[in-house]
Chain A
Amino acid sequence: MKKLKSFPDKGKKAKKGKKNREFAVVTYSFLGAFLCLMGYFVYFQFVESEQFINSPYNKRQELFTRNVIRGEIYSADGVTLAETLVDEQGNETRSYPYGRIFSHVIGYSTRGRSGVEEMANFSLLRSNLFYVEKAVSQIKGEKSPGDSVTTTLDYDVQLCAFDALGRYDGAVVVMEPKTGKILAMVSKPDFDPNTIASDWDEIVGEEGESSALLNRATQGLYPPGSTFKIFTTLAYIRQNSDYEDYSYQCTGKFTHENKTIHCHGNKRHGTQTLKEAFANSCNSAYASLGLELDIAEFGEMCDGLLFNTGLPTTFESSKSSFVLSEEDLASAVMETSIGQGKTLVTPLHMALITSAIANDGVLMTPYVIDHTTDNEGNPVEQYEPKEYQTLFTAEEAAILKEYMQAVVEEGTASKLSNDVYDVYGKTGSAEFSSSSDSSHSWFVGYAHQEGREDIAVAVIVEDSGVGSEYAVPIAREIFDEYYIGEE
């Protein structure tokens, strides 16, 4: 302790100091607590507050529109996807030059918010001008320009996917396995974000029966059909180290306990190894193989592969479900093994699984916002690729790659075979109604070309037919667009 002054009654003073020791303890304890509180307050303002300001529940974000002109949204190649136009009277209009093409992924901000408009709302409404500049323009009653957001979306790939899906309902997700960048995301039916506010009642429908606002790429739940054989195969490999010796005699159908599973078109595949059964999408082989699996382990494996859990994305997304249990009948096991039954997946989920396989088992967190810049183009925030989780071992990924390559080279996706790039994938035809013959057409897979990044796609074409007929050509167009381009 510092002695400040010496007084004649120093002795008495010291005694009094000692007498007050407990008071000092209390005072300093409180002072310490208050200092921590203030420190926390400062920390909150500088660091933690962003998470709260950014929350979609924070109605106060609307207040920023009074002082800030909403920023632009760009594609990765610099195409303006959303901008705010201000006329001479100062009226603002949010404009989406490519309208429906980006409807779900970019979203809207004129009646509620969705897509990137929602995710990046805070950045778009935040002006990174210096405090003084901001204060000056506020005092002058002028609006400051908000930050701009550059997405990972590739304009050409998005346009190609949009056109390729054509008049069908369905969804396409294209991403870069190595980084998690989403290159394209299409969902149909779609809407025009330019006029959504005035079209709202029409789009939502009288009883909300229209689902145009639903982003099928992330929220649509579909039976996976044969694409699920990726999971069944992995379960078999994990549970049987001698999977290479697997052999099945296919007669076009498989019957067990009064339940019969047919191969597509009752085709007899003959003797099938596991790899051949996968390449030819032999339902009989998988139905019988499913009965050999330990169902509890199968379920655990699926839970580890993003079933029954939220996907690592800031898009509004649905949970894929896998509900098979040991109590279920053999018929349910057989159906589930070939991707029917109660299993449901989202297209994004399938794209993530495919990406992880392409990336040697490691799933990167998918992202669509690459970076933000202030109105002078100076970087504000940059998103770096992040590992999310290792879903497969490198060996498992290698085996699945080999199997998926066989699908393209000698199996159901031979239409994708070409000299420019290699494709690895799995087709699927998901029956969604017991009363109708039609099915959803699936393709999930990725392509590789030396010197270029791999890209993974998940395509679902609703109510069309078999995967090889409808989904595969769409994937082909996307791969061609990406690796070959316009020439």
Chain B
Amino acid sequence: MTNLIVEISKYLMAVLFACYTYECFAVFRGRLNEEQKNRIFRRQTVFMYLIHLDAYLVIYAVTDNVMTIAFYVFQVIFMAVTISCYHLVYPGASRLLVNNMCMLLVTGFIMLTRLSFEKAVRQCLIALAAMVATLVIPFLIRRVHFVRRLTWLYAVAGIGTLLLVAAFGATSYGAKLSLSIAGISIQPSEFIKIIFVFFVAGMLYEKTDFRQVCITTVIAAVHVLILVASRDLGGALIFFVTYLLMLYVATRKIFYLAGGVLAGSIAAVVAYYLFAHVRVRVLAWSDPLGVIENEGFQISQSLFAIGTGGWFGMGLYQGMPEKIPVVEQDFMFSAISEEMGGIFALCLLMVCVSCFLMFLNVAMQMKEQFYKLVALGLGIVYGFQVFLTVGGVTKFIPSTGVTLPLVSYGGSSLLATMIVFAIIQGLYILRQDEGKSNGTKRTKRKKTGFDEKIEELS
């Protein structure tokens, strides 16, 4: 009987998630009225609950642990409250983003429960706390306008904290990432990414003359260099790319982008020859099976997992995701691909892409340059992180050891990502206020910006 549930469920979940993902992009197509869109979002919610129910049915069937049912009920309430809270408190919020956030969280909960029940519970509690804490952010975005004037505070806080981590941080897998405060280990760089985006936006939203660009670049370079010194390559790369693209968009000069790419390429080559750990990553990427005993072990295990899982996966509890080192953090995508299947994993990636598009869409819709840059920066941070982690675990690019936002285990990453989502929601709502103050805007284009985006991009 258990076998039956596991087998049917893996196909069912793949189909349900494919339907969910289809709806993510279906809202992009054509001109849909308010009611049609709401129907799509309601359908998405139903798909999400069905996947969730199915997954926990399997989990209970296999583990026979009553606690999993209690945990499941708790999560359902959590999701229902989250969705309705956003609906009630912020009727103007993007329902697609809320849905996607919940979907990603739920996927993470499912896989974490399968890997380690305690970690899943911990993750869920952190998510709950983060949800409560971040619910106020959209409100603050509308009211608090001095955020753009705290530019130097961001720089000092960012660099200061990074230095603190570099000096006193705990080393894990060769990189100094976390600080222990009162027994709780936090990864400050997750939050500094957000502060950094605000800093760059604050520096460049009014003036983009050469002097201003130079000062900003120096401060940004300090961030990146501290991270390189802490051996946090993924982090350094995210900061670098985020800054470069924000600079390009703010100055509208392709010259800066080209120069930055060139400098980045040179830096990458220098880093390759200078740092052994960079060479190790590249070696593991180019021939993982050749160096499987040491350098290539992790990535090979990840590829074994993805490959053996195939398109429909082995089924929950039927694979060996625990064979991959640090699977709950850096290799969640591989674990999901192994047990829930390649189709499910691909859909997961597309949901992330859908979030990214939403972020960039908000950036384009905003009128104030500061907010445009903030939304852009956060979108790049999010999108690039997804790209690095999924690309890394599938051997598309050398692995950099970053987490999959909202899905991977880890409180700091989770809280930081939820802050990012909340900020974007705030900006999304703010954009509609801007629209209203113009007075002439068509009401039917209020809810989502997709249709407008179509016009601009197609």
Q: A49-B307, A55-B289, A139-B7 are in contact. Are A22 and B323 (CB under 8 A)?
A: no
Contacting residues, chain B, for A3 (C-beta < 8 A): 455
Whether, in the assembled complex, A13 has its beta carbon less than 8 Å from a beta carbon of chain B, the answer is yes
Whether, in the assembled complex, A380 has its beta carbon less than 8 Å from a beta carbon of chain B, the answer is no
Cα of A121 to Cα of B338 in the assembled complex, Å: 20
Cα of A412 to Cα of B350 in the assembled complex, Å: 73
Closest to B397 in A: A37
State which of A4, A41, A58 has its C-beta within 8 Å of the C-beta of B346.
A41
Cα of A17 to Cα of B180 in the assembled complex, Å: 47
Q: Verify A31–B304 contact, CB threshold 8 A.
A: no
State which of B4, B319, B345, B364 has its C-beta within 8 Å of the C-beta of A60.
B319
Contacting residues, chain B, for A243 (C-beta < 8 A): none
Whether, in the assembled complex, A63 has its beta carbon less than 8 Å from a beta carbon of chain B, the answer is yes
Closest to A62 in B: B320
Q: Verify B245–A44 contact, CB threshold 8 A.
A: no
Q: A22-B252, A26-B376, A53-B307 are in contact. Are A141 and B4 (CB under 8 A)?
A: yes
Cα of A60 to Cα of B245 in the assembled complex, Å: 42
State which of A26, A28, A53, A131 has its C-beta within 8 Å of the C-beta of B308.
A53
A181-223 with Cβ < 8 A to chain B = none
State which of B304, B312, B384, B387 has its C-beta within 8 Å of the C-beta of A53.
B304
**Chain B's nearest CB lies how many Å from the CB of A232?**
35
| Size range of the chain B interface in the assembly | 35 or more
Contacting residues, chain B, for A27 (C-beta < 8 A): 357, 360, 364, 457
Cα of A1 to Cα of B456 in the assembled complex, Å: 9
Query: Binary interface profile of A, 51-66, with partner B (CB < 8 Å = 1, else 0)?
Result: 1110101111101001
Q: A45-B310, A51-B289, A63-B320 are in contact. Are A58 and B304 (CB under 8 A)?
A: yes
Query: Binary interface profile of B, 103-140, with partner A (CB < 8 Å = 1, else 0)?
Result: 00000000000000000000000000000000000000
Closest to A53 in B: B307
Q: Verify A31–B353 contact, CB threshold 8 A.
A: yes
Cα of A342 to Cα of B380 in the assembled complex, Å: 62
Q: Verify B306–A49 contact, CB threshold 8 A.
A: yes
Closest to A35 in B: B353
Whether, in the assembled complex, B269 has its beta carbon less than 8 Å from a beta carbon of chain A, the answer is no
Contacting residues, chain B, for A13 (C-beta < 8 A): 455
Q: Verify A49–B252 contact, CB threshold 8 A.
A: no
Closest to A34 in B: B353
Q: Verify A37–B387 contact, CB threshold 8 A.
A: yes
Whether, in the assembled complex, B203 has its beta carbon less than 8 Å from a beta carbon of chain A, the answer is no
Q: Verify B394–A41 contact, CB threshold 8 A.
A: yes
Query: Binary interface profile of A, 30-41, with partner B (CB < 8 Å = 1, else 0)?
Result: 110110111011
Contacting residues, chain A, for B350 (C-beta < 8 A): 38
Q: A26-B360, A41-B394, A57-B292 are in contact. Are A33 and B387 (CB under 8 A)?
A: yes
Q: Verify A26–B245 contact, CB threshold 8 A.
A: yes
Whether, in the assembled complex, B69 has its beta carbon less than 8 Å from a beta carbon of chain A, the answer is no
Contacting residues, chain B, for A34 (C-beta < 8 A): 349, 353, 356, 383, 387
Contacting residues, chain A, for B457 (C-beta < 8 A): 24, 27-28
Contacting residues, chain A, for B455 (C-beta < 8 A): 3-5, 13
Q: Verify B7–A138 contact, CB threshold 8 A.
A: yes
B82-101 with Cβ < 8 A to chain A = none
Whether, in the assembled complex, B3 has its beta carbon less than 8 Å from a beta carbon of chain A, the answer is yes
Whether, in the assembled complex, A20 has its beta carbon less than 8 Å from a beta carbon of chain B, the answer is yes
Chain A interfacial residues counted at CB < 8 A: 48
Q: Verify A20–B364 contact, CB threshold 8 A.
A: yes
Whether, in the assembled complex, B342 has its beta carbon less than 8 Å from a beta carbon of chain A, the answer is yes
Cα of A16 to Cα of B308 in the assembled complex, Å: 49
Contacting residues, chain B, for A63 (C-beta < 8 A): 308, 314, 318-320
Cα of A38 to Cα of B292 in the assembled complex, Å: 25
Query: Binary interface profile of B, 336-360, with partner A (CB < 8 Å = 1, else 0)?
Result: 0010001001100110010011001
**Chain A's nearest CB lies how many Å from the CB of B241?**
10
Q: A44-B394, A60-B320 are in contact. Are A139 and B8 (CB under 8 A)?
A: yes
Whether, in the assembled complex, A384 has its beta carbon less than 8 Å from a beta carbon of chain B, the answer is no
Q: Verify A139–B4 contact, CB threshold 8 A.
A: yes
Q: A51-B289, A63-B318 are in contact. Are A23 and B363 (CB under 8 A)?
A: yes
Cα of A23 to Cα of B353 in the assembled complex, Å: 16
Whether, in the assembled complex, B248 has its beta carbon less than 8 Å from a beta carbon of chain A, the answer is yes
Whether, in the assembled complex, B305 has its beta carbon less than 8 Å from a beta carbon of chain A, the answer is yes
Query: Binary interface profile of A, 430-458, with partner B (CB < 8 Å = 1, else 0)?
Result: 00000000000000000000000000000
Whether, in the assembled complex, A2 has its beta carbon less than 8 Å from a beta carbon of chain B, the answer is yes
Q: Verify A38–B346 contact, CB threshold 8 A.
A: yes
Whether, in the assembled complex, A50 has its beta carbon less than 8 Å from a beta carbon of chain B, the answer is yes
Whether, in the assembled complex, B390 has its beta carbon less than 8 Å from a beta carbon of chain A, the answer is yes
Whether, in the assembled complex, B454 has its beta carbon less than 8 Å from a beta carbon of chain A, the answer is yes
Q: Verify B394–A40 contact, CB threshold 8 A.
A: yes
Whether, in the assembled complex, B11 has its beta carbon less than 8 Å from a beta carbon of chain A, the answer is yes
Closest to A131 in B: B312
Whether, in the assembled complex, A86 has its beta carbon less than 8 Å from a beta carbon of chain B, the answer is no
Contacting residues, chain A, for B249 (C-beta < 8 A): 22-23, 26
Q: A27-B357, A57-B292 are in contact. Are A41 and B11 (CB under 8 A)?
A: no
Closest to A57 in B: B292
Closest to A39 in B: B396
Question: Which of A3, A27, A31 has the most chain B CB within a 10 Å cutoff?
Answer: A27
Cα of A3 to Cα of B395 in the assembled complex, Å: 40
Q: Verify A55–B300 contact, CB threshold 8 A.
A: yes
Whether, in the assembled complex, A420 has its beta carbon less than 8 Å from a beta carbon of chain B, the answer is no
Closest to B297 in A: A57
**Chain A's nearest CB lies how many Å from the CB of B181?**
35
B275-327 with Cβ < 8 A to chain A = 289, 292, 300, 303-308, 310-312, 314, 318-320, 323
Q: A26-B249, A60-B319, A139-B4 are in contact. Are A44 and B307 (CB under 8 A)?
A: yes
Q: Verify B306–A44 contact, CB threshold 8 A.
A: yes
**Chain A's nearest CB lies how many Å from the CB of B381?**
12
Contacting residues, chain A, for B396 (C-beta < 8 A): 36-37, 40-41
Q: A23-B249, A23-B363 are in contact. Are A49 and B310 (CB under 8 A)?
A: yes
Q: Verify B304–A135 contact, CB threshold 8 A.
A: no
Q: Verify B394–A2 contact, CB threshold 8 A.
A: no
Q: Verify B380–A26 contact, CB threshold 8 A.
A: yes
Closest to B442 in A: A7
Contacting residues, chain A, for B172 (C-beta < 8 A): none
Contacting residues, chain A, for B292 (C-beta < 8 A): 55, 57
Question: Which of A28, A48, A49, A135 has the most chain B CB within a 10 Å cutoff?
Answer: A49
Whether, in the assembled complex, B391 has its beta carbon less than 8 Å from a beta carbon of chain A, the answer is yes
Contacting residues, chain A, for B338 (C-beta < 8 A): 60
Whether, in the assembled complex, B458 has its beta carbon less than 8 Å from a beta carbon of chain A, the answer is yes
Q: A4-B454, A139-B7 are in contact. Are A30 and B387 (CB under 8 A)?
A: yes
Cα of A2 to Cα of B455 in the assembled complex, Å: 8
Cα of A172 to Cα of B391 in the assembled complex, Å: 48
Q: A37-B390, A41-B394, A63-B319 are in contact. Are A55 and B380 (CB under 8 A)?
A: no
Closest to B361 in A: A27
Cα of A200 to Cα of B7 in the assembled complex, Å: 37
Contacting residues, chain B, for A23 (C-beta < 8 A): 249, 360, 363-364, 372, 376
Cα of A49 to Cα of B309 in the assembled complex, Å: 10
Given contacts A27-B360, A34-B353, A34-B387, 18 further A-B contacts (CB under 8 A): A16-B456, A20-B456, A22-B252, A23-B363, A26-B245, A37-B394, A40-B394, A41-B346, A44-B306, A44-B307, A51-B289, A52-B289, A52-B306, A52-B307, A53-B304, A57-B300, A59-B323, A63-B319
10 A-B pairs with CB atoms under 8 Å apart are A25-B248, A26-B245, A34-B356, A38-B346, A44-B306, A44-B395, A57-B300, A59-B323, A60-B320, A135-B11
Q: Which A positions have Cβ atoms within 8 angstroms of B? A: 1-5, 13, 16-17, 20-28, 30-31, 33-34, 36-38, 40-42, 44-45, 48-53, 55, 57-61, 63, 66, 131, 135, 138-139, 141
- Per CB-CB distance, the 8 closest pairs between chain A and chain B, nearest first, are A49-B307, A60-B308, A22-B249, A52-B307, A58-B304, A52-B303, A27-B360, A53-B307
